[in-house]
Amino acid sequence: MTHRQAAFAAQTETMIKNLEKRGMEGYFFEDSASCTAAILSSIPEGSTISWGGSASVKECGLMDKIQQGNYDLIDYFGVSEPEERKKLYARTVMADYYLMSSNAVTLDGELINIDGRGNRVACLIHGPENIIMVVGMNKIVTDVDTGIDRVRNFAAPPNANRLNRQTPCYATGRCADCLSPDCMCNQIVITRRSGVKGRIKIYFVAEDLGY
């Protein structure tokens, strides 16, 4: 491991203990391959799985494995027709597993997530039986305020570029606290505790993943 990865491994030891106090579970992995293998081993074949369009879930290779495996994948992002999307989202909230990342995680174990339409944070809050998060070491922050700043100024601009959202951050690379029709920061959700013990599981990977 590099010095940065070793420091991240030490950080996660404390973070995992803090997550446990908050009713969540945390696990540490040195690389994406071992993380993906562990997640797959925890999901029974035939399970219904949905996801939040996470770049981290894609980059670690998990989505490729899910698509190749024996699972009932509800791919909300695989269709564009509004009525079909409504039907898929209704199934999504009842899924056995929901795959996503977190925009930021504090050293104290709080999750920070900012959403445009709110479909991703809605599933995090309530619905799917299990939430599985893949979180790279680039998403660790000291506190909630730092996490919100990270999302707005370092995650939202490249995401706006990726999704072709015509926001000020797309044009300037930094947050303007906008009220644009394409605004991606309509919902700000801080998860300080899971109401259902063990429902939210965070898989920390000693790599930079997602935005």
In a domain, 30, yes or no: yes
Low-confidence ranges of the chain (pLDDT < 70): none
| pLDDT given for residue 204 in this prediction | 98
pLDDT digits (tens, 9 = 90+) for 63-79: 999 999 999 999 877 77
| pLDDT given for residue 80 in this prediction | 77
Instruction: Note every long-range contact of 154-158, with CB atoms under 8 Å and residues 24 or more positions apart, other chains counting.
Output: 154/211, 155/103, 155/104, 155/114, 155/210, 155/211, 156/114, 156/184, 156/185, 156/211, 158/211
In a domain, 188, yes or no: no
| pLDDT given for residue 104 in this prediction | 97
The total number of residues shown for the chain amounts to 211
In a domain, 39, yes or no: yes
Report the predicted TM-score, pTM, of the whole model to 2 decimal places: 0.94
In a domain, 178, yes or no: no
In a domain, 22, yes or no: yes
Alpha helices (runs of H) in the chain, residue ranges in sequence order = 3-21, 32-42, 55-59, 62-68, 82-92, 119-125, 144-150, 156-163, 168-172
**Domains contained in the chain, number:** 1
| pLDDT given for residue 162 in this prediction | 86
Q: Distance between CA 162 and CA 128 in Å, rounded?
A: 27
Note down the domain range covering 90: 3-140+194-205
**Beta pairing partners, 187:** 115
CATH number at residue 96: 3.40.50.10420
In a domain, 119, yes or no: yes
Q: What are phi and psi of 44, to 5 degrees?
A: -65, 145
In a domain, 185, yes or no: no
In a domain, 127, yes or no: yes
